[in-house]
Chains A and B, each alone.
Chain A
């Protein structure tokens, strides 16, 4: 609620002062593009999380996938897929969906060892996610529990953008049309076979570029026209 009163910049400045030395403080220290910047001058990090469920108070993060977007291009070579060792055994149905077997995760580092790398990748970049509330909730909960402060940052939500664009085009939004693959198909983007956090992050990144390209505005859209608080 603080950010609604103070705006992003002030909130982030304040958190920087409040944070103990560590990854989150470093994260908040980085300068951030202001919301009136043209979209193409901003750096982004498309990010996708795999979790054991949707409630950060009950469920855990299993993996992070992310890829930077710079100068209107998805930097495939900088894409990462980081696994997290869960503290409890994973429910079987989740493991089947994500193809993450206990065996792989057992040898992965715990969340407190992985999160610094994620924060480092995020610093100075606007996160992009398809249905961002999941990422927002889990990331902020993780920061809260590990560093005592939330992660406050504007997100670009490609699902929201898609829904907004479809409404503007007066197309009916039936269930399923906003799913990542369905949305990608409308822009002629390929269907990737693999489903893991990293490929989904790449898929969301490409969808974002396609959406911006199709907005058809005369001037490049500004960050505040794309991002949501």
Chain B
């Protein structure tokens, strides 16, 4: 290239993916360029043409349409058209037209393919748009982040099981049990009747309950075992197992898969894994006797988020950990309140709503909660107890940093502290008369999760609600329409639309314009499927299995959620490190071109799925 073509090289280098090419490759690209002109309305590629160039827009805009006339893509300054045809070997299946007077730099197919072969990032950029590209992008950007390490938050218990459990009958002798443990080289036995675990026997039991007490060797196992042991599901996280072990001071935990015994997790499995601080933090919270004490323990949370982000934990897992800390604080405050007020006069269950309910908390947020009481509740007799009780817990949470909910969605609000029958009438009203306010409440309360108390109460309410919503076309249509009220910040030309002016000038609101729309979509799919999942990724998975969202759609949304959430967490972690308040406003200037493109991909997935939902429910008619 003549050095004076530098001006054209500079133009290309300002745009992705040319910015990722080394100078010599850029030089080759520029030297092969042709500039062409197309006035508005001129067709550049027609169906059936053999495409021989990639068309890069210098000024103006190009539009790609399918044979049915549907707009597939628009390319503005610095963006390209014709890539899909080139990747197909040149055969054009769509039409490309200039929609403005355009100066176009045409890059010959040969150069295009050479650059793709030599430079991975260049090749990556031109993969088919949307979900598939987002997935590869994640793989590329995750390289060098220390992945592949064991990670408490990403490993499911099922994946940790090394061997099937070693079992014994309850009426076997402890001598036989000891011999079996020694032969198998295990530190515990599961005691089973048929395929049901009725107890667990560990080497510590043999020491403490047999040898120390000099019991005869023919004592049956059932006499010294721990009956009805705590257990977890194969789908639960390693983190959950550590939590239970730490709280109950146990070292072995049976794991069930689909109701059948799958194996045993031991603490030696866990000691090898790092990152135990979250678990210690939970232990610390349980030891505190005042809300102020808990607040001190919780000051560690920002540091923990930083650490988790840096070790490459997924947004899903971080949400799980942070929500679990909130759960722990809530449970501890309730225990303290019960200590002061005495046992509750009627059964109740404390429910977390919103992001805590969904297991999706990030930096500490507002509290969203409510109290579900048994129908035996009599306001005259029991009202005072629960009013004081919920006040103590909500005040305590406020001290801990989970500030009062501005919308008063809290158990201390009379309206949200009600017996089952009243809750049922609430939901009936929201579902039968889906007014905007009702839909807002519905969104918050559909994400409920029991934290502490009588879970059966919650399950009864849940079953009632799901029965009412599943296949309730009218309500779902309203909920769908509500889910479309927040659109991703993507402009006509697939550009990012930034907030202008004010405190957050030139930023993107990742929460309300990125994450909330996905959460809303997942809620509609889940309710349509009658699924009781509340976590967004769980909802997508269940909804996919039940067919209320396509397989690809679910996978794309999952990736989009993960990408946007991770970006938000990184942003918050950086803000925390700089001693600023963790917020949701990301400045685009701080993003690389690569990240911007991925963000656009994520947003376009959301946009596509919103469009599909709008069509499915004909929300335009409402």
Contact = CB atoms under 8 A, between A and B. Distances in A.
B102 interface: yes
B37 A210 contact: yes
A13 B282 CA distance: 97
B39 A199 contact: no
A82 to B, nearest CB: 10
Contacts of B34: 73-76
A201 to B, nearest CB: 11
Interface in B368-424: none
A127 B30 CA distance: 23
Given A72-B36, A76-B33, A79-B2, A210 B101 contact: yes
Interface stretch (A3-11, A128-136, A138-146, A184-192): A184-192
Contacts of B1: 77
Nearest to A68: B34
Contacts of B102: 188
A213 B60 contact: no
Nearest to B111: A77
Nearest to B1: A77
A209 B7 contact: no
A127 to B, nearest CB: 18
Contacts of A210: 37, 39, 101, 103
A76 B106 CA distance: 10
Contacts of B39: 187, 210, 213-214
A189 B30 contact: no
A73 B38 contact: no
A76 B30 contact: yes
A74 B105 CA distance: 9
B498 interface: no
Contacts, number: 69
Contact of B7 (A72, A77, A192): A192
Interface string A31-55: 0000000000000000000000000
A177 interface: no
Contacts of A196: 4
B32 interface: yes
Nearest to B53: A73
A187 B103 CA distance: 9
A209 to B, nearest CB: 4
Contacts of A80: 2
A213 B43 CA distance: 12
Given A79-B2, A80-B2, A188 B59 contact: yes
A199 B4 contact: yes
A80 B3 CA distance: 10
Interface string A192-229: 11101011001001100110011000000000000000
A76 B33 CA distance: 6
A76 B5 CA distance: 8
B477 to A, nearest CB: 45
Interface string B84-125: 000000000000000011110110000000000000000000
B36 A73 contact: yes
Interface of B is mostly: mixed
User: Could you say which interface size class chain B belongs to?
Assistant: 20 to 34
Nearest to A192: B7
Nearest to A186: B101
B36 to A, nearest CB: 5
Contact of B59 (A74, A190, A199): A190
Interface in A150-202: 187-190, 192-194, 196, 198-199, 202
Nearest to A209: B37
Contacts of A202: 35
B42 interface: yes
Contact of B4 (A72, A77, A194): A194
A81 interface: yes
Given A75-B34, A77-B31, A187-B37, A213 B42 contact: yes
Contacts of B7: 192-194, 199
B77 to A, nearest CB: 9
A80 B2 CA distance: 7
Nearest to A193: B7
Interface in B339-383: none
B52 to A, nearest CB: 11
B74 interface: no
B439 interface: no
Nearest to A213: B39
A188 B103 contact: yes
Contacts of B33: 76-77
A75 B53 CA distance: 13
A76 B32 CA distance: 7
A189 B5 contact: no
A210 B36 CA distance: 9
Given A72-B36, A188-B100, A209-B36, A81 B59 contact: no
A76 B35 contact: yes
Nearest to A65: B4
B38 A213 contact: yes
A46 to B, nearest CB: 11
A172 B504 CA distance: 47
Interface in A4-24: none
A190 to B, nearest CB: 5
A189 B33 CA distance: 17
Contacts of B30: 76-77
A188 B5 CA distance: 20
B8 interface: yes
B295 interface: no
B103 A206 contact: yes
A173 to B, nearest CB: 21
B523 interface: no
B51 to A, nearest CB: 14
B568 interface: no
Contacts of A214: 39
Given A72-B36, A206-B37, A190 B103 contact: yes
A178 B8 CA distance: 24
B602 to A, nearest CB: 31
B37 A198 contact: no
A188 B36 contact: no
Contact of B2 (A81, A187, A189): A81
A199 B6 CA distance: 10
Interface string B16-54: 000000000000001111111111001000000000000
28 contacts: A73-B36, A73-B106, A74-B34, A76-B31, A76-B34, A77-B30, A77-B31, A77-B32, A79-B2, A79-B5, A81-B2, A81-B4, A187-B39, A187-B101, A188-B60, A189-B37, A190-B59, A194-B7, A196-B4, A199-B7, A202-B35, A206-B35, A209-B35, A209-B36, A210-B103, A213-B38, A213-B39, A214-B39
Shortest 4 CB-CB contacts between residues of A and residues of B? A188-B101, A73-B34, A77-B31, A209-B37
Interface of B: 1-2, 4-5, 7-8, 30-39, 42, 58-60, 100-103, 105-106
